[in-house]
Structure 1
Amino acid sequence: MTAAEPAGGPGRGPSDGSAGTGCSAWVLGADSGGSGLRVALARVAPADAAPPDADAGPAPVAAGTVVSSEPVRTGPGGIDAEHMLSRLVPAARTLLTDAGAQADGLSAVCVGAAGMATLGEGLRAALPGALAAEFGPVRVALAADAVTAYAGALGESPGAVVAGGTGLIAMGTDLRAWQRADGWGHLLGDCGGGAWIGQAGLQAAMRDFDGREGGSRALRERAEARFDAPPDKLPGLLYPRTDRPAVLASFAPDVAACAAEEDPVAAGIMRAAAREAAMAAEAVCPSAQGAEVALTGGLFRTGAPLLEPLRAELGRRLPHARVVAAEGGPLDGALLVAARLAEGTLRLPPDDALLSVS
């Protein structure tokens, strides 16, 4: 693990990582997923610093971040709590030491993790007690990474967030309950996500190789260049891989590039992906006028071939909602949830699987 420079998103407070005069509580946020573990520390107002009915302050800015590219292990019992603690606790101690804070100065922790909803039982059982033993009394929130992505993108406003990367999931809330759509993995769903787009593009490449209707020569040439092999060798390259979703998703930028070059098959794939993402947002977005919708994740860096049809679909399906830019990412969201726990002002709804608080 290595300590990184202080970081923060737009509109998230002073760049020095402080939360203003009189702040004395430290909070920890963590984002755990397939690309590794990121842990950040921030300083916020303690729960007794403001009247109970006061509005929550701005989201905190990280005073420091520790990043590891090694993912937390997942086994038959779910996310490995011991492995998570072996990474999280040293990172927290490093950050507290670098900030000149005492170990018992930690007030709240939020861990956002991929798979928390279905594989997080061990974490929910072990982490609160273990963190209390290490750092003294500390509030703990354990969240699905889609929830921290929501908090990072929209804060505590009602609305919907579509998180797109290798997969795709939409989360929505009216601040009373959570609604989820998709995020079921590349075999059962993740429709419109990177693996879905990449698979559709490779199928079009194979159609062209076979001479079947619906094929694309441009996608076939891109596939040959991407995998350095002719199409008939792709099954042997792809099927034995244990990281097939990521391999499929690696072809999504090629599909977007072909769409930008006006290949009709590729453009059709991107329009279909946009429809899927918009349907997921529609399924979870609150019906109240002015609800906000944000897009977050690397998928949306594919640019206009996806974003233009997606914005059109959202406008058609959710005319009452307002599409806004995401303010931050999942690590920002984890810090926000931890800060609100420390302040006693958390408005996002608790949920046994998606956002458990102790």
Structure 2
Amino acid sequence: MTASWVLGVDSGGSGLRAALTRAAGDPDGPGGPDAAVPGAHEVVESREPVRTGTGGIDAGHLLEQLLPMARGLLERVGGGSVRAVAIGAAGMASLGGRLRAELPAALAGSLGVRRLVLAADAVTAYAGALGQRPGAVVAAGTGMIALGTDLTGWRRADGWGHLLGDCGGGAWIGRAGLEAALRAHDGRATGSPALLAAMESALGPARDVPGLLYPRSDRPAVLASFAPHVARCAAEDGDEVAAGVLAQAARHIAESAAAVCPAAAEAPDGCEVALTGGLFKLGEPLLLPLRSELSGQLPHAQLVSAAGDPLAGALLLASALASGTLRLPLHETLLHVSAEQGT
């Protein structure tokens, strides 16, 4: 019997990851819509981020990387057919027009795949964390976005980028910490000498920091790189200014979670809230005030561990599409299924 597979893809600022797992109906495949997030049988990655231009996410560049990866994965597992593909990509909601227009025919022609789901990375983060259950997920790393569903529609909060939002995310925390460091350099009363010392150790003299930061195209990542220093100053130095930055970040994150979590009437058994993303590796300096804020702003919520990451979420979406058990609500830009799904 020829093995059947589904392919999950996670495309973001750090590159492209792809994975295969057995399709539902295959003897080794997952069992249905409520099955655990499927584990990857084989994983491969590229460190080259997919390009984005004036036309949005570059579909050709994604295919240049993905097709050799997919063929290599199939060779490694001894062949078989790919029944469905799910691609989660950063920027899909606002920049994914070319992907939605070009990928269905390209994947059908190159891999013979006619079932395709294209999702925002927040949706694959949701699927990886909670599967196909109602609830809310906060995905936070350099940026921050919250996404929730009652399985009839999606609610989104923030995710507006480091200039207009992403409040409480890594870039936000890093910028707030650097501001406090520069206030200390100026002699302003609300500055933090501990953060000033951390900034000068990490980035150099205060007078050089603007010149280092402003010309960079990767400013959000540079700002976010300072967030661990803020957490360290709060935890190890007992710095009240750093602790205040993290407390404010926790308020912002909880506020976004509260905006998207199904209401108590929609979730009588309580709204599950999962946290996913690298920001939460900051640990207790952030998680302690965040748990307090969530308890106050979302008394009906239950904080749960994320079952898997966005790549696992892409695999779950592909598996559900292949088996006809996709229950998460479709959306023109957040969760799009190709017109050929029924073939």
Normalised-by-shorter TM-score class: over 0.9
How big is the shift at 1:24? 4.2
Instruction: Indicate the residue corresponding to 2:62 in structure 1.
Output: 84
How big is the shift at 1:55? 5.2
Please say if residues 24 and 45 of structure 1, whose CA atoms lie closer than 8 Å, have aligned partners that are also in contact: no
> Which residue among 168, 175, 178 is the counterpart of 1:202?
178
For the pair 1:256 / 2:235, whether they are aligned, the reply is: no
For the pair 1:155 / 2:131, whether they are aligned, the reply is: yes
Instruction: Indicate the residue corresponding to 2:216 in structure 1.
Output: 241
1:214-293 to 2 correspondence within 5 Å?
Answer: 214-227=190-203, 229-260=204-235, 261-287=237-263, 288-289=267-268, 290-293=270-273
How big is the shift at 1:137? 4.1
Instruction: Indicate the residue corresponding to 1:18 in structure 2.
Output: none
SS at match of 2:85: strand
Please say if residues 23 and 44 of structure 1, whose CA atoms lie closer than 8 Å, have aligned partners that are also in contact: no
How big is the shift at 1:242? 1.0
Query: Structure 2: where are the runs of 5+ without partners?
Result: 339-343
> Which residue among 50, 54, 57 is the counterpart of 1:72?
50
Alpha-carbon displacement from aligned partner over 1:279-314 (angstroms, at most 9, x marks no partner): 000000001232200000000000111000001111
Amino acid at match of 1:313: E
How big is the shift at 1:25? 2.6
Instruction: Indicate the residue corresponding to 1:13 in structure 2.
Output: none
For the pair 1:114 / 2:94, whether they are aligned, the reply is: no
Which shifted more, 330-339 or 236-245? 236-245
How big is the shift at 1:213? 2.1
Please say if residues 33 and 326 of structure 2, whose CA atoms lie closer than 8 Å, have aligned partners that are also in contact: no
Cα separation, partners in 2 of 1:56 and 1:32, compared to 1, 3 Å: same
For the pair 1:131 / 2:107, whether they are aligned, the reply is: yes
SS at match of 2:147: strand
Please say if residues 258 and 297 of structure 2, whose CA atoms lie closer than 8 Å, have aligned partners that are also in contact: yes
Alpha-carbon displacement from aligned partner over 1:168-212 (angstroms, at most 9, x marks no partner): 000000011011000000000000000000000000010001011
Instruction: Indicate the residue corresponding to 1:193 in structure 2.
Output: 169
Query: Structure 1: where are the runs of 5+ without partners?
Result: 1-21
Amino acid at match of 1:298: G
Please say if residues 30 and 110 of structure 1, whose CA atoms lie closer than 8 Å, have aligned partners that are also in contact: yes
With normalisation by structure 2, the TM-score equals 0.94
How far apart in 2 are the matches of 1:29 and 1:291?
Answer: 27
Instruction: Indicate the residue corresponding to 1:308 in structure 2.
Output: 288
Please say if residues 18 and 44 of structure 2, whose CA atoms lie closer than 8 Å, have aligned partners that are also in contact: yes
SS at match of 2:249: helix
Please say if residues 44 and 60 of structure 1, whose CA atoms lie closer than 8 Å, have aligned partners that are also in contact: no
Please say if residues 16 and 45 of structure 2, whose CA atoms lie closer than 8 Å, have aligned partners that are also in contact: yes
> Which residue among 21, 34, 41 is the counterpart of 1:42?
21
> Which residue among 129, 138, 141 is the counterpart of 2:117?
141
How far apart in 1 are the matches of 2:102 and 2:208?
Answer: 46
For the pair 1:27 / 2:6, whether they are aligned, the reply is: yes
How far apart in 2 are the matches of 1:57 and 1:280?
Answer: 28
How big is the shift at 1:264? 0.4
How far apart in 1 are the matches of 2:328 and 2:42?
Answer: 25
Instruction: Indicate the residue corresponding to 2:156 in structure 1.
Output: 180
> Which residue among 318, 321, 338 is the counterpart of 1:338?
318
How far apart in 1 are the matches of 2:24 and 2:231?
Answer: 45
Aligned residues: 332
SS at match of 1:87: helix
RMSD: 1.8
How big is the shift at 1:45? 1.6
How big is the shift at 1:344? 0.7
SS at match of 1:188: coil
SS at match of 2:163: helix
Amino acid at match of 2:135: G
Please say if residues 37 and 307 of structure 2, whose CA atoms lie closer than 8 Å, have aligned partners that are also in contact: no
Q: Displaced runs of 4+ in structure 1, greater than 6 A? A: none
Instruction: Indicate the residue corresponding to 2:341 in structure 1.
Output: none
How big is the shift at 1:101? 1.8
Please say if residues 166 and 193 of structure 1, whose CA atoms lie closer than 8 Å, have aligned partners that are also in contact: yes
Amino acid at match of 2:102: A
How far apart in 1 are the matches of 2:158 and 2:170?
Answer: 14
Amino acid at match of 1:95: L
For the pair 1:357 / 2:337, whether they are aligned, the reply is: yes
SS at match of 2:217: coil
With normalisation by structure 1, the TM-score equals 0.90
How far apart in 1 are the matches of 2:132 and 2:296?
Answer: 25
How big is the shift at 1:61? 1.4
